[in-house]
Structure 1
Amino acid sequence: MNWEGGIRVPGLLRWPGVIQAGAYIDEPTSNMDIFPTIVKLAEAQLPSDRIIDGHDLMPLLQGKVTRSKHEFLFHYCNAYLNAVRWHPGNSESVWKVVFFTPNFSPEDSNGCYDSHVCFCHGGFITQHDPPLLFDLSRDPEEKFPLTPETESRFYEILRVVHLAVDNHSRSLRPVPDQLSWDNLLWKPWLQVCCSSLLPCIPIKTVVPG
């Protein structure tokens, strides 16, 4: 789920002489950051024909900076944008906007126990208009949704987040269907001719002539 308890998964890293032992970083990052980090460490170049959403983690891991480069993080439930986190550069507040929540079953529970999985669309969710707004710097457990009465910048925060969502959506490009028949069909000519259990079997090509 995209509540903080599902998002904030600890990561443990060890690199003697590069990453300081015992360091603690309380900044959310993303799996998308792994790719540009490895590319930078390999002294290679990132692809220039697409938008790379991740950022190099090394400055954060080595203590050269204290904040992630992600001003916005977009949290998806399958293919549906579920929530957005915004950490303004000039503020200690961390805002989180939640567009929909799953309909738990049974109703008085905190999970989808009847179906064993929470779905992300249709009658399985409740859309929120306006979205739920939390200040994670004061309410990390997301217990108290803010309202225009309790947060004077309520509509301004939503406006900025919606603008970020629009920019993010325009940057997305469709990818080929990974479950198409062309990707699912077995291609024997791509199979290796040996395994870790058997010795390699040489393949001879006979050309009639």
Structure 2
Amino acid sequence: MTDEPESRQILNVLEELQLANNTLVYFSSDQGAHVEEVTARGEMHGGSNGIYKGGKGNNWEGGIRVPGLLRWPGVLEAGLEVDAPTSNMDVFPTVATLAGAELPQDRVIDGRDLMPLLRSRSRHSEHEFLFHYCNFYLNAVRWHPRNSSSIWKAFFFTPNFTPEGANGCFLTHVCFCYGRFVTRHEPPLLFDLSKDPRETSPVTPSSEPRFWEILDTMQQAAEHHVRTVQAVPDQLSLQNVLWKPWLQMCCASSSRLSCRCRPEEQDLGGSA
């Protein structure tokens, strides 16, 4: 046993196997801290998202702005900081490109290859727009115009934090995306994150002369995006959720499984 975090253990193994210089390591998170998290005893265990509003389960910056740390000695410049909109969806096209594989042509790939940014060949992300969902509802649009320092974010609806004045949905332990749990905005609620990363002061027609022009551009981008979204098979259908024994991991400690582990893998808990 070791007290080292798993990420450190992985890096240690890469060093031991002399694979560090040939391996891209990307450490990130799929969402911000779950601020409403409580134990069975009622103890608050929710983390902190710093200055950012909200957290896991909503699209305020606290829920979607997460750290991304990358390491590839000899390929990526040490200490490089990239200040550009990216997404975890970018992992797939980045890895595919590095592997020399072609991306599928029968669907829209929303991610973008990160390597031009990471190797300083480009200063701008290919994501001019990013679309933020709450479950399957399009919740917000992010726009970083070319040759502009502004980062616009428009909300079509926002969760109703409870109790009033809280920084999360503590009465339900997570924010829901529909009905009485949200407030819809017409026109959409607009922020300039470059000036207001805390999302405390919405932009208005009186404070921003281009207010309606900005919203119109973002609305058009959202409508174009929605037209590219295609239905996929139900991932929670009975066929998909039924237990499939032949896909079950087989390890030496699982005596009830009808499989045998290779002797050399028993100590490692490997699969047969």
Output the TM-score relative to the length of structure 2: 0.70
Instruction: Find the counterpart in structure 2 of residue 150 from structure 1.
Output: 207
Aligned length: 200
Please report how far the alpha carbon of residue 195 of structure 1 lies from its aligned counterpart in structure 2 after TM superposition: 2.3
Name the CA shift for 1:191/1:6 in 2 (closer, same or farther; >3 Å): closer
| Residue 52 (1) aligns with residue 122 (2) | no
Q: How does 1:53-68 map to 2 (within 5 A)?
A: 53-68=110-125
Q: Distance in 1 between matches of 2:152 and 2:240?
A: 40
Please report how far the alpha carbon of residue 193 of structure 1 lies from its aligned counterpart in structure 2 after TM superposition: 8.6
Q: 1:43 aligns with which of 70, 87, 100?
A: 100
Are the counterparts in 2 of residues 72 and 87 from structure 1 also a CA contact under 8 Å?
Answer: yes
| Residue 88 (1) aligns with residue 145 (2) | yes
Q: Distance in 2 between matches of 1:186 and 1:194?
A: 14
Q: 2:135 aligns with which of 44, 67, 78?
A: 78
The residue identity in structure 2 corresponding to 1:79 is F
Q: Distance in 1 between matches of 2:72 and 2:244?
A: 40
The residue identity in structure 2 corresponding to 1:169 is V
Q: How does 1:18-37 map to 2 (within 5 A)?
A: 18-37=75-94
| Residue 195 (1) aligns with residue 256 (2) | no
Are the counterparts in 2 of residues 193 and 200 from structure 1 also a CA contact under 8 Å?
Answer: no
| Residue 131 (1) aligns with residue 188 (2) | yes
Q: Distance in 2 between matches of 1:63 and 1:101?
A: 36
Q: Distance in 2 between matches of 1:169 and 1:98?
A: 15
Name the CA shift for 1:142/1:38 in 2 (closer, same or farther; >3 Å): same
Q: 1:178 aligns with which of 235, 252, 255?
A: 235
Instruction: Find the counterpart in structure 1 of residue 157 from structure 2.
Output: 100
Q: Secondary structure at the match of 2:69?
A: coil
Q: Distance in 1 between matches of 2:199 and 2:108?
A: 31
Please report how far the alpha carbon of residue 138 of structure 1 lies from its aligned counterpart in structure 2 after TM superposition: 1.5
Q: Distance in 1 between matches of 2:179 and 2:253?
A: 48
Please report how far the alpha carbon of residue 129 of structure 1 lies from its aligned counterpart in structure 2 after TM superposition: 0.8
Q: Secondary structure at the match of 2:239?
A: helix
Are the counterparts in 2 of residues 82 and 98 from structure 1 also a CA contact under 8 Å?
Answer: yes
The residue identity in structure 2 corresponding to 1:54 is G
Please report how far the alpha carbon of residue 130 of structure 1 lies from its aligned counterpart in structure 2 after TM superposition: 0.7
The residue identity in structure 1 corresponding to 2:125 is S
Name the CA shift for 1:192/1:22 in 2 (closer, same or farther; >3 Å): same
Q: Distance in 1 between matches of 2:159 and 2:250?
A: 47
The residue identity in structure 2 corresponding to 1:122 is G
Q: Distance in 2 between matches of 1:40 and 1:115?
A: 42
- Deviations 1:27-69 (Å, cap 9, x if unpaired)? 1210110000000000010011111111000110111111110
Q: Which runs of 5+ in 1 are unaligned?
A: 202-209
Name the CA shift for 1:192/1:116 in 2 (closer, same or farther; >3 Å): closer
Q: 1:17 aligns with which of 66, 70, 74?
A: 74
Q: Secondary structure at the match of 2:106?
A: coil
Q: Distance in 2 between matches of 1:18 and 1:24?
A: 15
Identical positions, percent:
62
Instruction: Find the counterpart in structure 2 of residue 160 from structure 1.
Output: 217
Output the TM-score relative to the length of structure 1: 0.90
Q: Secondary structure at the match of 1:13?
A: strand
